[in-house]
Structure 1
């Protein structure tokens, strides 16, 4: 059984605030070969790496990213004293690595329009060859694929939920698994273990790939490895 791909979720946040340059540097130093981040759009159409709509959790500032301009956001300091990371800055330092780009659904259409501008310039190589996209909104995924059909998307979260329910219930023909597609699956749901070898096998028999979605403990990570997942998205160091 080949080793899974390890993906650092928002960077290694043991040492720095999530989605900052220091968090991604720490992840690379820890041995990660793939990284994940979140994209949002500012009021003046700059892309910024931020998970939440509001900066309350990471900066203690009740400011919505989509309602602020870049100049305002550049003045914000996060919990560890770091600034927010903008897409152009991120591209310059980290554009040569493998990424999962999580497109947040709020103002997602505007996010995609700004992202498509980078396709015409310096971001083309990364976005075509080293980036995969994760969507929470099927319509937004279709919009991107209509414009750039060659890019690689992971299964959007509504599809992941359907596939997970079907495979856990033992009826994989109802899962709608598409060959070559990567599906997120959490270690457990309401105390019920989902990452089991027989469950993962139901995806893989249909040529689907399984990503262990955020195992939080050593035990959950062991479940993922025992189940034979293809990828692990984690907040922690590789196992």
Structure 2
């Protein structure tokens, strides 16, 4: 599985590097890789004509300043919408093709995007360099049905039994809950509950999975989490994380 090849920690660029580039665009991905990101985190929705489109939001308001939804427009129409810096929407297929060696962390944002995302990954022969995740286990499973060997991360609700096992020191419970998952991708906290602790990290590692924490942009927080032993950090500032990792090494 190439997704987990290479040295740790994983420097996971959240929607690319949106410094001088719009998020989730080919330029943002290029900037992230040039800054030292080891992985690209992105999101997919389905277009009106059933293509997996790289976009975090279901609508166009925040990124394009206009009305409408991604699923109301065909891919060709989305490509004509300017996002800034000469960029526009791209398909997942285009992103995988543009960066054939890059490792992609893909969040399936809606049910209709599951099948076209899987098809794009298959066409690009990229299953070994991709991790699929979603807040919905059903969405993720719909995509992975055609990709049985692809790396996956649990939804937060799927992670709950493992968290209980970790908190109570019942590692067999954590191992059962995390069977088949390559990585656990979680925020450091969920409300008042701290999800990422030294004990949690040890329990996830004992279950054979990595711990990736999102979304962390403060260098002091990055440093503290690395001291806890996390395997990767999802960040909007992969350039800062790369500098930190270099300094720690």
Q: Greater shift after overlay, 110-119 or 83-92?
A: 110-119
Q: CA deviation at 1:28?
A: 0.9
Residue number in structure 1 paired with 2:166 = 167
Trace 1:100-179 onto structure 2 (pairs within 5 A).
100-104=105-109, 106=110, 108=111, 110-118=112-120, 121=123, 123-124=124-125, 126=126, 128-164=127-163, 166-168=165-167, 172-175=171-174, 176-178=177-179
* Native 8 Å contact 1:187 1:223 kept in 2: no
Residue number in structure 1 paired with 2:186 = 185
Unaligned runs of 5+ in 1: none
* Native 8 Å contact 1:187 1:220 kept in 2: no
Which TM-score applies when normalising by structure 2?
Answer: 0.82
Residue number in structure 2 paired with 1:43 = 48
Q: Greater shift after overlay, 188-197 or 48-57?
A: 188-197
Q: CA deviation at 1:171?
A: 5.2
- SS of structure 2 residue aligned to 1:102: strand
1:75 aligns with 2:77: no
Q: Deviations over 1:121-144 (max 9, x none)?
A: 3x12x1x22111112222233333
Structure-2 change in CA distance of 1:166 and 1:219 (3 Å): farther
Structure-2 change in CA distance of 1:47 and 1:141 (3 Å): closer
1:12 aligns with 2:17: yes
Q: Greater shift after overlay, 164-173 or 4-13?
A: 164-173
* Native 8 Å contact 1:76 1:84 kept in 2: yes
* Native 8 Å contact 1:196 1:223 kept in 2: no
* Native 8 Å contact 2:181 2:209 kept in 1: yes
Paired residues in the alignment total 232
* Native 8 Å contact 1:184 1:211 kept in 2: yes
Q: CA deviation at 1:54?
A: 0.6
* Native 8 Å contact 2:187 2:195 kept in 1: yes
- SS of structure 1 residue aligned to 2:145: helix
Q: CA deviation at 1:207?
A: 2.3
Trace 1:87-98 onto structure 2 (pairs within 5 A).
87-98=92-103
Unaligned runs of 5+ in 2: 1-6, 245-249
Structure-2 change in CA distance of 1:61 and 1:81 (3 Å): farther
Residue number in structure 1 paired with 2:208 = 207
Structure-2 change in CA distance of 1:151 and 1:189 (3 Å): closer
Out of 3, 8, 21, the position equivalent to 2:8 is: 3
Q: CA deviation at 1:34?
A: 1.2
Which TM-score applies when normalising by structure 1?
Answer: 0.85
* Native 8 Å contact 2:118 2:144 kept in 1: no
* Native 8 Å contact 1:188 1:195 kept in 2: yes
